[in-house]
Amino acid sequence: MSNGILVITDSHYGWNRSKADSLQNSVNETIEVIKSLGYNEPDKIILLGDIFDFWRSDIDTIFNNFIDDIKYILDNKDNIIYIYGNHDIYLTKIFNKNEIKLLPHIIYNGVYFSHGFIDEIYYGFNKLDLETYKRIAYILSTSRKGIKTLLSKVWYEYKLVSEKVGHNLPDEELCNLLHILALKYGRSVIGHFHRYMLVSLDRINNSIAVSLAPHCNGFTYYLYKNKIIEINTNKSYERVINLRTSITP
């Protein structure tokens, strides 16, 4: 991990984000902060899913308002790893592998990166199976605006009342999921849950899993050696988490 990795998750461009917002600007601003802290410019950018929100925005709206960001991703595909989330899985239907390969997860430089919704399903924290969940995601992504709004309300009420998954997963269960990932992969980073939570199991072997706060709330992350630098652009502060000395909250 020579110059580190910039990680952005859950931007949700298209939902509560104006056309003036820009992924490229966010990346450039974060890199300037990283350099001002004395670190080198990152080698790699990992987009950790839900960068665009096809569930709550029309496909045409996203491509009209954020086409420059999509071009930026395609133009920099050699330096960007795109891991899809549940809200932008529709991109797997649009981009072919020659344009950019969207991944469900990856182990990169010894760290497991995943958006988190697949892990939530795989380890039993969501009662739906993966194929059913994907079908729901595609339906929500491709529906017309009025139907999309109705289906989204039904989906979120269903989650809130009966499933308690995703954003509604209780802290205790999210902590349990992070424990599982830490034990399996050693070092893991996920998004999806819109909450910052850190679990460290073994300081000697550096077993750790982190759930990152969302970019739509102003958070970006820089992974360098054994550190995670959290940058909150809205509040103008940086927090450094040392992976070798972190403890379970």
Look at residue 202 in the predicted model and tell me its pLDDT: 67
User: What average pLDDT does this structure show over 10-16?
Assistant: 88
Provide the phi-psi class of 10: left if phi over 0, else alpha when psi is between -120 and 50, else beta: left
60 CB-near residues (< 8 Å, 6+ apart): none
Of 87-101, 117-131, 223-237, least confident by mean pLDDT is: 223-237
Contacts 24+ apart (CB under 8 A), 17-24: 17/216, 19/65, 19/66, 22/68, 22/69, 23/51, 23/66, 23/69, 23/72, 23/73, 24/68, 24/69, 24/72
Q: What are the structural domains of the chain?
A: 5-242 (3.60.21.10)
242 CB-near residues (< 8 Å, 6+ apart): 226, 227
Statement: residue 94 has pLDDT above 90: no
User: Alpha-carbon distance 234 to 33, whole Å?
Assistant: 13
| E strand residue ranges, 203-236 | 207-211, 219-224, 227-232
Tell me the C-alpha to C-alpha distance, in Å, between residue 180 and each of 142, 158, 168, 176, 246: 34, 26, 19, 6, 17
Task: Note the pLDDT tens digit of each residue in 43-54.
Answer: 999 999 999 999
User: What average pLDDT does this structure show over 122-139?
Assistant: 90
pLDDT band at 245 (very low <50, low <70, confident <90, very high): very low
Look at residue 163 in the predicted model and tell me its pLDDT: 55
Statement: residue 59 has pLDDT above 50: yes
Statement: residue 99 has pLDDT above 70: yes
Average model confidence (pLDDT) across the chain: 83
Residue 96 neighbours by CB distance under 10 Å: 9
Look at residue 51 in the predicted model and tell me its pLDDT: 96
Residue 13, both tokens: 């461009």
Task: Note the pLDDT tens digit of each residue in 16-45.
Answer: 665 557 899 999 988 988 888 888 899 999
Of 142, 236, 190, 235, the residue nearest 46 (C-alpha): 190
Task: Note the pLDDT tens digit of each residue in 159-173.
Answer: 555 556 566 788 899
Top pLDDT among 227 and 238 is at 227
Do 194 and 217 meet the contact criterion of CB atoms below 8 Å apart? yes
pLDDT band at 234 (very low <50, low <70, confident <90, very high): low
pLDDT band at 136 (very low <50, low <70, confident <90, very high): confident
Strands 5-8 and 111-114: unpaired
Sheet containing 207-211: order of strands = 105-108, 111-114, 187-190, 207-211, 197-202
Of 213, 220, 214, 216, the residue nearest 236 (C-alpha): 220
Residue 132, both tokens: 């059913």
Look at residue 17 in the predicted model and tell me its pLDDT: 64
pLDDT band at 98 (very low <50, low <70, confident <90, very high): low
pLDDT band at 100 (very low <50, low <70, confident <90, very high): confident
Look at residue 165 in the predicted model and tell me its pLDDT: 59
Look at residue 118 in the predicted model and tell me its pLDDT: 96
User: Alpha-carbon distance 156 to 111, whole Å?
Assistant: 31
pTM attached to this predicted model: 0.89
